[in-house]
Structure 1
Amino acid sequence: MADNMAPASTPVTTDGHTAGTVDACPSTRALELVASKWALRIFPALENGPVRNNELLRRVGDGISQKMLTQTLRELEANGLILRTIHDSVPPHVEYRLSPLGASLNRTLVGLDDWVKAHWPEMERIRKNQVGSD
């Protein structure tokens, strides 16, 4: 039996994941995609409109390689979160922008960022108290 195949008696979701497991949860799978280090930096870099590849590389910054940027962009594009436009010019260039789906997700990510900024000091305080009580 292949590694990704569940035993015949195990319920399987329509997309081939074992029912009742974390990998079957769409929320978990979506979070794995968008909560990656680079995806979280790409969303705000695209929130004000189309951006060319080199500018996106500068905006994301912090040591991302062209290869990793391309890989992350392809994954986000394959999931409908960003749109890639190839301009037929000399030289040709590519622009990326948030899709309507990606823009709606970005609003949620901004809300999460606001929540973290508001509550991080309290979380830090609690964590320090927990460490001190061990």
Structure 2
Amino acid sequence: MNDLSVRAVRAAVNVLVDTDPTAETPGSRTSLHITADEPCFEGHYPGFPILPGVCVIESVHRSALATHPERATVEHRLAAIETARFLQPVYPDDVITVDMSWQRRDGAWRCRAVVGNPRGESARVRLRYEPAESTP
């Protein structure tokens, strides 16, 4: 039987820029050092390891939770991955940056993120967050 457990990225989220949450379009930037010993590299293209797309999304999600405009007052949950487009791979020992902009619409927050690596853009991701108390 195969082990199908999900291994989340262990890299620490470093907040580099966090704008005023009351700004018209709040934004933030984080960085994560994706070390070669991340468990998610194991078996993901042996001999040519790349960070799985789901781990890129997890890095954006963790960055979004660390910088959410209402993080100090309201707990939010990930309600949807609205889009994810992968442009370039993330390799072991890359430092990725996550540039986020936030927009409040229809009672939810939308986070647009651009993930960068040392060679350029890795991904574009859009996530939607809703207040945790609205969980069905």
What is the TM-score with the length of structure 2 in the denominator?
0.26
Higher relative contact order (CA 8 A, sep 6+): 2
In proportion to residue count, which structure has more strand?
Answer: 2
Answer 1 or 2: which has greater helix percent: 1
Report which of the two structures shows the higher radius of gyration computed on alpha carbons.
1
